[in-house]
Every structure is written in structure tokens, then in C-alpha cells.
Homo-oligomer: A and B are copies of this chain.
């Protein structure tokens, strides 16, 4: 599947955008895309300029989630369309979150998924925003196969029942025997498996594959990183300025803990936490309070181990080893 056909598999709702620009009389419109959709940016901007009287500006910044709204662009344009994520934070009056649902039919992959799940058991359904509009359909299908389904509400960071984010697995907080995660990638279902100690079946409707996920390997890797940091003396505590990732309060709490245990430390604040940006900071380890995925996804690319706050607490002895879970950004109940 090449990138063009990849972005063709999603509904960008251009007609809706044209309509909204026309109705609001916006003179300037911004477009912000996650990486996978950026190849569509140029043609979409040209089409919108052709079909409306708005002048369009594209965000060129990397974009990793609804936590990562381009606030500079939002300040520059009358209306900003942010693609690929559901709304996360309130108070962004001129930002429209275009959820960009996948067009793919999820039913074909469910037959094989149902075969893996024991009849009469209860399944917690989870997915990302791209497929969340299909959960009712999924539920009906699985119930017709003799399974009970439960869909968690999630906390107030979660827009749709059953939706998980890379930083929030709260919709998995339900009574069930196993989870069925519908989507691509392993980060979200691994996080759920670790958080709730239950097995997760991953059904990928894009690749038409079904796979049970074993979190043991990632837990061993993370334990190894924690172990490696037991002798570390200098720590860079990393804070992101991204609107939905900034946890300065947590960083200050981590700095306080570092001080309590006599560890040299400093707080480093930046926008995009990349291996290149951190390269010049000569510390034994980083503690990342920004997007929880950074420590996990890019672990091997940094010049020093990157710990989550949870892991840093284990390093210091403030938390037990068996409490090792993925970092989350949780909020209050809805």
C-alpha cells in the first residue's frame, strides 16, 4: 500500500470544510495534518483555495496528536482544521478537529477475531478515533457470535466510548475477560495489556491480520532500561511546551524527588523531543514528562536512556518494580 492510497483510505470531508469556510466567511484557513496525511496537504490546499475565497496556510510542523495543535497557526488564521484526531482540550475556539475516519470495512477481520475469542466471554472493545464510529457494528457482529461486549467511557480526555490514545487507556477500565483492539500499531494495545493485566487481541482492518499481544517483551525491555539507570547520577527532566503535553507540575515533582535522592538534575523544556535535540545534553538519563510514547517508541535513538516518570520512581526506589506500567496522561471522570 503506497502513501497515496493510504491517505485515500480516509474521509477528509472536504465538502464539509468548503461549506464551513463559506458559511463562516473565513478569509484565511489553516490545515494541520499528522505525518501520514501530509502528502495530501498540497493538493487539498489548492482544492480549497479553488472552491472557496479563503487563503490557505499549511502547518509544516510535525504533529503527533490532538495534544499537538499548532497554536501559532491557529493564531494566524481565522479557522484551523486539525486532521486525524478527536478534540482533546477545550477553549480552542477556531480549531475544528477533523476526525478523518477510515473508510475501511472492519467486519472482514472480525470473523478471524471472533474465532480467537471464547464464546460466552466478555470482550472489552477498544480502538482509535479512525475506527471508533464502527464500534456499534463491531459489537453487533461479535454478539451474533456469542460474545458479550463492553465499551468503556474513558475519562474526560477521551471523546468517544472505547477510544484509546497513546497517552490514555482509561476506556479500558472495564470488567472483561479480554480486550479486542481494532487498529494498526502495537503501542496502544500494549499499553492496555500492561495497564490492566489482561490479554489483548489486535485486529488490524487495514492489514486484515489478527494477533494476540504479549506485553512481556516490552516489559523486559523497559525493566532493562530501569536497571541501567540505577547508577545514573545526572538526569535531564524533559517537559514539552505542546498544549496538551505540558506537565511542568509533574516535572517539578520529579525534580523534587531527584533532589531528595541526591541526584543532579535539571529541567529541559522544548517543543519537539527528538534524539537530535537531546544529543548535546550530557546526562546519564532523561525523564520524559511529555508524550508517553517518546520513551517507548524512540528508545534506542536517544543518546541516553529515556525513562517515564513511573520508571524514574522505580529507579529511585519510590515505587516497586511490579508497579511498572506505561505512563499515561489521565484526567478526571467525564
Contact = CB atoms under 8 A, between A and B. Distances in A.
Interface string A254-265: 010000000010
Contacts of A59: 268-270
Contacts of A42: 234, 236, 264, 266, 281-283
Most buried by B among A57, A76, A234, A255: A57
A38 interface: yes
Interface string A262-281: 00101111111100111011
A56 interface: yes
A45 B76 contact: no
Number of identical protomers: 2
A67 interface: no
A72 B203 CA distance: 41
B56 A269 contact: no
Interface of chain A, helix or strand or loop or mixed?
mixed
Interface in A50-79: 55-62, 70, 72-73, 76
A78 B61 CA distance: 28
A140 interface: no
A248 interface: yes
A232 interface: no
Interface of A: 30, 35, 38-39, 41-42, 45-46, 49, 55-62, 70, 72-73, 76, 234, 236, 238-239, 241, 248, 252, 255, 264, 266-273, 276-278, 280-283
Given A38-B281, A61-B272, 5 more contacts: A35-B280, A58-B266, A60-B238, A60-B281, A72-B271
